[in-house]
Structure 1
Amino acid sequence: MMLRSASAQIFRQAVRCMNTDTSLILERSINRVQLLGRVGQDPVMRQVEGRNPVTIFSVATNEMWRSGEGEVSSTGDVSQKTTWHRVSVFKPGLRDVAYQYVKKGSRILVEGKLDYGEYVDKNQVRRQATTIIADNIIFLSDNVRDKI
């Protein structure tokens, strides 16, 4: 039974591919990010003329490792690298909650997608920007959870 349904599914996909223009076929792909860290600064809300407002803040994540022989019980020095991530929230309800409750130092989990873009800075220099477009924020700091 399972083999028959799998064969039928493959046949339907093959027929669908033969009957459609190949330029219209879209492959499934995933652009998903999860960040667990601390907020670097209180959020700001910006609005570019003709566009919806956006709440922007940064999140720091830390990576730690021990230099030495690589053994768990190694007595080598512990090193840490902090990476800062720019988070933008466009989703209307979430945007407002983030602006009101995200605070510097809060521990949060951000889920969303990566976005790469360009902008021109105040000195007319073209810059690259990497942003996490958030579609979910989970507050992990006790004092924030109690307020929501």
Structure 2
Amino acid sequence: MSLNQILLIGNVGNDPEMRYTSSGTPVTTFNLATNNTYRDQNGETVSETEWFRITAWNRQAESVNQYLTKGRKVFVEGRLTKSEYVDKEGVNRSSLEVSATRVVFLSSQSGEEPSSQPSSSNDNNINNNDTFSPNDNSEDIEELPW
């Protein structure tokens, strides 16, 4: 048995960019920053930021491109994928990116956190499947893994 799953909560570092594959499939990419703050052995507060490249596909790509903006807090669930390419100097390179299976908006477009009141709608939850509906109430926000 094996598992390739990554769960991230962070802030969007740039407005998403959407393009289409040669077969017409929409693909949207954006960068996500996660922060880790801790105290070192001297008692100093240290803050580290990790950046992740996120790729969304199909209807999820369209929704992310339409509604996600720089600075918004999001939850991303996906899997790590390795991309190989040749750079401008002809050197073979590889990079890791997250292929998103789910994107959940955790803040409004103005950057405010949503209220803690239970919601009867999941407009902020975007799954990567062909049955996406912006009013899909099939999962409650309370079922998220954190």
Q: How many residues align?
A: 114
- 1:1-34 CA-to-partner distances (Å, cap 9, x unmatched) read xxxxxxxxxxxxxxxxxxxxxxxxxxx3211110
Q: Which residue of 2 aligns with 1:46?
A: 19
Structure 1 runs of 4+ with >4 Å offset? 144-148
User: Tell me, what secondary structure is at the counterpart of 2:4?
Assistant: coil
Q: Which residue of 2 aligns with 1:139?
A: 105
Q: Which residue of 2 aligns with 1:66?
A: 39
Q: Percent identity?
A: 37
C-alpha distance in 1 between matches for 2:94 and 2:25: 22
C-alpha distance in 1 between matches for 2:23 and 2:6: 28
The amino acid that maps onto 1:106 is R
Deviation at 1:88, TM superposition (A): 0.4
**1:102 and 2:68 aligned:** yes
Deviation at 1:135, TM superposition (A): 0.8
TM score, norm. by length of structure 2: 0.70
User: Tell me, what secondary structure is at the counterpart of 2:62?
Assistant: helix
- Going by fraction, where is strand more abundant, 1 or 2? 2
C-alpha distance in 1 between matches for 2:23 and 2:90: 22
Deviation at 1:51, TM superposition (A): 6.0
Structure 1 stretches of 5 or more lacking a match? 1-27, 70-75
- 1:40-79 CA-to-partner distances (Å, cap 9, x unmatched) read 000111234346231000000011110136xxxxxx1100
C-alpha distance in 1 between matches for 2:91 and 2:20: 22
RMSD: 2.1
Q: Which residue of 2 aligns with 1:93?
A: 59
C-alpha distance in 1 between matches for 2:66 and 2:88: 29
User: Tell me, what secondary structure is at the counterpart of 1:93?
Assistant: helix
Over 3 Å counting, the alpha-carbon distance change for 1:50 and 1:125 in structure 2 is farther
CA contact (8 A) 2:16 2:30 kept: yes
Structure 2 stretches of 5 or more lacking a match? 115-122, 125-133, 135-146
Q: Which residue of 1 aligns with 2:80?
A: 114
The amino acid that maps onto 2:55 is S
C-alpha distance in 2 between matches for 1:126 and 1:103: 32
The amino acid that maps onto 2:17 is V
Over 3 Å counting, the alpha-carbon distance change for 1:52 and 1:143 in structure 2 is closer
TM score, norm. by length of structure 1: 0.69
